[in-house]
Amino acid sequence: MDRSRARTGFTVLLFSLTGLLFIQTMGLGRVARLVPLKVLVPTLVLLALQLALDLFPALGRRFSPFERVRFVKADHYRDQAKPSSTAPDPGRAFPGTEGRLFLWLLLFPVLIYFSGFPTAAPLYLFLFLKVRSGESLVLSAASAAVMWGFLLGVFTFLLDVPLHRGLLWRWLGL
């Protein structure tokens, strides 16, 4: 079996499995099927596009120049990560990075537990952007405000999903 047939077969298999999941998801309740559908519908669309590119080689050749386009320029970061000849140990080029990353990952559930999800997610985003990434105060605050508005607007008002309030808000009686 040549490579193009194997690729087409794999795409058909993924499309079939995703279609089966889509059919099963439609049997769920209205609220329960929202999140799976947000994943399944774009996946089905992209798999249908991939299947069309696999089945019609002329269409695939027409869009082949897009395969060579680099949307993310990762070469700069890859070059920075390469160990220099003066570094004593290439495995430890950035000492303490894993520990700091672990602390950032641990901070999010701790914030959720104490301050609640609607407060913790924007606060974590603000702190991560400002402190860890070094972004500007305006960008950090605007991103956190958009996230807070999205969380309250979609989950609290539109879907009426109760989010974890946190110990702080219960202790304050709010």
Per-residue confidence (pLDDT) for residue 61, from 0 to 100? 74
Distance (Å, rounded) from C-alpha 56 to C-alpha 11?
13
Q: Where are the domains of the chain?
A: 3-68, 106-172
Residues 6+ apart with CB under 8 A from 124: 107, 108, 111
Residues of the chain with pLDDT under 50: none
Which region, left, alpha or beta, applies to residue 44 given φ > 0 means left and ψ of -120 to 50 means alpha? alpha
Alpha helices in the chain (DSSP H): 3-25, 34-55, 57-62, 75-81, 97-115, 117-127, 137-150, 167-172
Residue-level pLDDT at 157: 84
Report pLDDT for 70. 56
Q: What is the pTM of this model?
A: 0.48
CA distances from 97 to 24, 102, 104, 145 (A): 43, 9, 11, 29
Our measurement of the distance from residue 131's CA atom to the centroid of its chain's CA atoms, rounded to an integer in Å, reads 21
pLDDT of residue 78: 58
Output the pLDDT for position 149.
92
